[in-house]
Structure 1
Amino acid sequence: MKQTQTLSPQMMQSMEILQMGSQELLEYIENQVQENPVLEMEEKYGSQDEASVLQRKLEWLESTDTQNRVYHQQDSEDDGKDPISNYGNADETEENLYLYVLSQLQVMELPPEVLAAGRFLVESLNQNGWLDEPLEDLATQMEQPMEVVEKALAVVQSLEPAGVGARNLSECLVLQLQRRHEDSALAIQIAKDHLEALSKNRYGLIAKALGVTQEEVHAACEIIRSLNPRPGSGFAARENLTYINPDIFVVNFPDHFEILTNDYFFPSLNVSSYYCRMLKDSEDSEVKDYLMGKVRQAKWVVRSIEQRRSTLLQCAEHILELQEDFFRHGPGHLKPMSLADIAQRVGVHESTVSRTVKDKYIQCASGVYPLSYFFSRSLGGSADASSPDAAKALLKKLIAGEDKKKPLSDQKLCELMSREGCELSRRTVAKYRDELGIPSTTGRKQYE
């Protein structure tokens, strides 16, 4: 004889719903409504047009975020302009680099052969907006003389985004610098002839070669670093952009926080009153059995979704309570927190918390984060030790304050962080530095 625990299909279904993300749950609801006639789905946005839906979204943002409230009010006060009419209706040409550049080329008055060559060049752009193939090879493919192709290239390089049609990094930066209003002659010179020295922070070498001061070189290099070396990358990224629907919103007030669930994203589910009456009035045993099973299933789905919402809200409330410094001050203030900490406060098992935070997102003043982001181990093994997030923030602070002529080595950073109460090995410091995108000592050093 032995005692075993088994899970009913309803319990398994409830656990599956608990760990579903927003999009997955929405698809699940739609499938359940199609399979179960007793379930009725009430769209919260009904049959409204896109403008009214967007208006409600803007009102939601206005009521939950002070910054968006300011922007929304400015749009609403703009006389003669409908804040909804042009919002989100970007033409498809703005989503595609090729069409975006070609639309500018089409309206220019050009000789037919130059226009045809320009189209060919635009079609030859890679996703970064550069021309990979040599101009001579392109001219051969077009069966056009080099003179015509060079004129077409000059036209393409004059279009937006700045830097499009460049054949290398130097030319891309120069094209962008030539459109700047301020004096960028020195920056253009550096971009043309001294990019390698710039990559190694050899300001003294550049200053000596060009006969200017290091301060002037430093200012020019900062201008170059502010440019976009891949002018077409924004268009390529936008084509495959995936939007996240946060499950939880945290609104900051001066004296408290407010947590809201994203109920607007999900339709309301109800058990059909028509089929309930039919179940009550029908005398056919088969019909009653069928409807009874469907009603029971529908009620369980509704209950499971509500239980998911309730558990998610409880977990979010305790995460907010334990990570209040993060929500007030942003990244760098994350404290060590485990699944067991939340499970103990909510009164559930750790596996339940794990399922609850899986594929769920929270939106706060610092941005949108997965709920799993807030669970981090303690670097020192004690509750008061630093988290990886705090360690990275301290690492950035130390590197930002270092002498750029004598940057701190990973070992020295390790020692300084230890003095601040953050015990890390040299290898861990190097790992965190790489994750932050900070170069090594050689890459950070500025030479005389």
Structure 2
Amino acid sequence: MKAKLTQEQKLTWKLTQKLGQAIELLQYNGFQLQQFLEKQMKENPLIEVETDRTVPDYTPAKRGMGFDESFWIDNSQDLAGYVKEQLLDKELSPAFKQIVEYGIDSLDENGYLTIALTDWQFAFQTDEETIGEALELIQSLDPAGIGARNLQECLALQLYRSSVPNTLAVNIVTNHLEWIADDRMEDLMMEYEVSEAAIEEAIQDIQSLHPKPGILVAGKTSSPIIPDGEVYQSNGVWKVALTGWNSPTITIVDYSLDHSSLSPEERDFFQKYTQEGKWLQKALSQRLDSLDRVFKSIVRRQIAFFDYGPEHMKPLVLREIAEETGLHVSTVSRAVKEKYLQTPHGTYPVKFFFQPGLQGETGEVSAYAIKHLIKEMISHEDKQKPLSDQKLSEMLKKEFQIEVSRRTVAKYRLALKLPSSSKRKRRRNK
């Protein structure tokens, strides 16, 4: 009985290990997959991997509207230089820009602010409000989390960048971060009166953050993000094809040995690595099938985007793709993680195509489309009479039949890293 139980435990462990590896494979993008396979070849002498590593020409999507990742970062550039470059498209007075750049120069290599606000204020003989605005501007720049004065603020800044911030996670990092380190799950559940699942989700969000965002710039190399799929039009129909990086061929080498002449240890050796090679072939085939189904479903759902451009993005959630493909929501989530699609409009993270929506008189409108309209209205506003969030809300209703509350307009404006109307006017007049 004991021996049988031990065998079952070993089988369970092996199945769990294989399942974990299969999940990892789905989460990898094309480049990460190649790194994984290179490691597998070193560990398994019986497999050979062939991959088409041709990198297609592509155009990065424009920054600033739901997609703010750099496709190229020169590792010779320091953090301050990288952050200052983002000020180029900001309308700042020379005096205010000097104050902001002083704050940027006061960031350490990890992205934290090393100067006290009172010292910063004294250095320019200015008021507390101006320094607060300068800090707010720095904290709105990339990488998310820079300009923080402590770890809690750094993590909270990153959480606020989400289109729908996890308020529970924000509260935990702000008030009870040490409870996570001490694994005080029950205390967190009692403190916030939520379920264990909610706490676990919040902790997962927190664990995905970077405690030292500054090194994300210093540690990057001058290499491009490689698209995992290419969307193209053929005979008037939009299609998607996975790039060669995602379609490797695994060959199991047959040495044509006379197994009868092998020792038991040698037979076990060949059997073990042959089985692992076959598992890898199957796992890669499943990964390819999942990516193909998910990418094709996204393209079908976002036809208006491909026909007319990003401002015609439709609302979309993971559940809709899961229902159409027959995959679990968690599988869809892993399939889109860190993946990129090359389109005629530029190359976008696959997650970009998932947008929340609001109901308008002409149908549901994506948050991205509303952000686009808000950005356009602000860019064409009277510089001396900037549009308030309430006014923007009224214009969306009157001109586009989209009913959005002032509060929602403010949330989208902040997501676009655009200051309030009073701050826009003040910065232009300084």
User: C-alpha deviations, 1:121-165, integer Å up to 9, x for none?
Assistant: xxxxx848x9xxxxxxxxxxxxxxxxxxxxxxxxxxxxxxxxxxx
CA distance change for structure 1 residues 31 and 382 in 2, over 3 Å: closer, same or farther?
farther
* Distance apart, 1:293 and its partner CA: 1.8
Higher RCO (C-alpha 8 Å, min separation 6): 2
Residue 25, structure 1, aligned to residue 18, structure 2: no
CA distance in 2, matches of 1:169, 1:402: 22
2:396 corresponds in structure 1 to 417
Aligned to 2:304: 325
- Partners of 2:229 and 2:421 lie apart in 1 by 41
Does the 8 Å CA contact 2:46/2:252 hold for their aligned counterparts?
yes
- The answer to whether the aligner puts 1:387 opposite 2:395 as a matched pair is no
Q: Match for residue 433 of structure 1?
A: 413
Is the contact between residue 305 and residue 311 of structure 2 (CA under 8 Å) also seen in structure 1? yes
- TM-score in terms of structure 2 length: 0.54
Deviation at 1:400, TM superposition (A): 4.2
Q: Deviations over 1:393-448 (max 9, x none)?
A: 1212333454445332211111222343433332321232233243433455589x
Q: Secondary structure at the match of 1:31?
A: helix
Is the CA contact (8 Å cut-off) linking 2:341 and 2:348 kept in structure 1?
yes
When normalised by structure 1's length, the TM-score is 0.52
Q: Equivalent of 1:259, from 227, 233, 240?
A: 240
Alignment partner of 1:39 is 2:18: no
Query: Letter of the aligned partner of 1:263 in structure 2?
Result: G
Counterpart of 1:291 in structure 2: which amino acid? F
Which residue number corresponds to residue 294 of structure 1?
273
Match of 1:81 in 2: none
What whole-Å deviation, never above 9, does each CA across 1:23-48 have from its counterpart, x for those lacking one? 33222111111111111123546xxx
Equivalent in the alignment of 1:69: none
Give the percent of matched residue pairs that are identical in Structure 1 and Structure 2.
35
- Is the CA contact (8 Å cut-off) linking 2:315 and 2:357 kept in structure 1? yes
The within-5 A match list for 1:290-369 is: 290-369=269-348
Residues 432, 268 of structure 1: alpha-carbon distance in 2 compared, 3 angstrom cutoff: same
Q: How many residues align?
A: 272
Closer/same/farther in 2, CA of residues 35 and 432 from structure 1, 3 Å limit:
same
Structure 1: state its 5+ residue gaps. Answer: 1-5, 46-55, 66-93, 99-125, 131-167, 171-235
- Shift in alpha-carbon separation, 1:383–1:32, aligned structure 2, 3 A: farther
User: 1:337 Cα deviation (Å)?
Assistant: 1.0
Q: Is the 8 A contact 2:390 2:406 kept in 1?
A: yes
Aligned 1:14-413 pairs, distance under 5 A: 14-42=22-50, 44=52, 60-61=56-57, 127=81, 240-252=221-233, 255-264=236-245, 268-274=249-255, 277-278=256-257, 282-380=261-359, 384-413=363-392
Q: Does structure 2 retain, via aligned residues, the 8 Å contact 1:327–1:364?
A: yes
Contact map agreement 1:26 1:266 (CA 8 A) in 2: no
Query: Is the 8 Å Cα contact of residues 279 and 291 (structure 1) preserved in structure 2?
Result: no
Larger radius of gyration: 1
- Distance change (3 Å), C-alpha of 1:381 and 1:32: farther
Please say if residues 332 and 393 of structure 1, whose CA atoms lie closer than 8 Å, have aligned partners that are also in contact: yes
Q: What code does the residue aligned with 1:250 have?
A: V
CA, structure 1 residues 414+382, in 2 after alignment: closer, same or farther (shift >3 Å)? closer
Q: CA deviation at 1:388?
A: 1.2
One-letter code aligned to 1:364: T
